[in-house]
Amino acid sequence: MTGKEEIKEVRKYLQQSHDRIFENNKKWAEEMRKKKPEFFTDLSAGQAPEYLWIGCSDSRIPAEAITGLEPGEMFIHRNIANLVNNIDLNVMSVVNYAVRHLKVKHIVVCGHYGCGGVKAAMTPKDMGLLNPWLRNIRDVYRLHQDELDAITEEEAKYDRLVELNVYEQCRNIIKTAAVQQCWAKNEFPVVHGWVFGFSDGLLKDLKFDHEGQLKEIQKIYNLTQEQDG
């Protein structure tokens, strides 16, 4: 193929992949309207989701689809390796809005086995712009170094790091003023840690002990008392 033809082919492909999204969207909107004529009118009245989902950006884990929830039911933040960093204004704004304004009842941190972000973080290599973000995962490793070093099988070690990363992010959510203050008043939101597996398509509950961890964390990170004025 000449260069020009190649460009033409690429353009055709891009056009098709683009058109597909719009065609699909139209089809979906029609189907939903057929099932429930007032569906979109109801949605435009506002949102009152019960859940906040903090998951990985990975294309294979569309949160609503894998939990069977409909539009309007789950507030979503997705980033590389589902991290919750206390100086990240982006995720902190999401947690703040979901807890203080939407008053969600549950916060789910969902990681997944085979996470490219976690893998990248454990690669002994300069990852450029990604270094500061991935550093958080290396820190999780360091916090659990004894346990992880003891696992000899590479795949098992990596799976366990994925789980421990979820655990630590659940703890990070509990460290926020928004969650602690809301919990003191209402006994919600409850924080959950899950991992999604591609091998079976199922969510695994890591049984994060919300109340126990909150107590433990507040020995140091207690922000329950509200700001003055």
Partner 1 sequence: MPTYIDPIDHILAGNRTYQQHTTQCDPDAFTNLAQGQAPDILWIGCADSRIPETTVCHCKPGDIFVHRNIANTVHADDLNAASVVEYAVTHLKVKKVVVCGHTKCGGANAALGDADLGQTLNTWLHPVRELRRRHKIELDKLPSDDARSARVAELNVQQSIEVLKQHPAVKRAVSERRLTLHGLIYDIGAGQLKILDDSGSKKTTGLWSPN
Residues annotated in a binding site: 56, 58, 112, 115
Q: Is 56 a catalytic site residue?
A: yes
Q: Is 58 a catalytic site residue?
A: yes
Backbone angles phi, psi at 126, to 5 degrees: -75, 120
By C-beta, is 117 or 193 nearer to Zn ion? 117
115 binds, among Zn ion, partner 1, none (CB under 5 to 8 A by kind): Zn ion
195 belongs to the binding site for Zn ion (CB under 5 A): no
Q: Is 60 a catalytic site residue?
A: yes
State in angstroms the smallest separation of the CB of 147 from partner 1: 25
For helices 177-186 and 154-174, give the axis angle rounded to 10 degrees. Answer: 70
Q: Quick one: which of 178, 208, 215, 209 has its CA closest to 91?
A: 178
What's the Cα-to-Cα distance from 126 to each of 116, 123, 162, 173, rounded to whole Å?
A: 15, 8, 21, 28
Q: Is 228 a catalytic site residue?
A: no
State in angstroms the smallest separation of the CB of 214 from partner 1: 17
Reading the block at residue 103, the tokens are: 């008053």
Neighbouring residues of 147: CB distance < 8 A, sequence distance ≥ 6: 160, 164
Q: How many helices (H) and strands (E) does the chain have?
A: 10, 5
Q: Is 210 a catalytic site residue?
A: no
State in angstroms the smallest separation of the CB of 145 from partner 1: 24
Q: Which of 112, 171, 192, 210 does the annotation list as catalytic?
A: 112
Instruction: Show the site string, 99-138: x = touches Zn ion by CB under 5 A, - = not.
Output: ----------------x-x---------------------
2 binds, among Zn ion, partner 1, none (CB under 5 to 8 A by kind): none
The answer to whether the CB of 191 falls within 8 A of the CB of 208 is: yes
State in angstroms the smallest separation of the CB of 57 from partner 1: 5
Q: Which of 115, 159, 170, 171 does the annotation list as catalytic?
A: 115
CA atoms within 13 A on the CB side of 94: 24
Tally the residues of the chain.
Answer: 229
What's the Cα-to-Cα distance from 13 to each of 5, 139, 152, rounded to whole Å?
A: 12, 42, 45
- Binding site for Zn(2+), by residue number, is 56, 58, 112, 115
Q: Which of 11, 20, 33, 60 does the annotation list as catalytic?
A: 60
Scan residues 53-72 and list those touching Zn ion (CB under 5 A). Answer: 56, 58
| Interface ranges with Zn ion (CB under 5 A) | 56, 58, 115, 117
Q: Which residues are catalytic?
A: 56, 58, 60, 112, 115
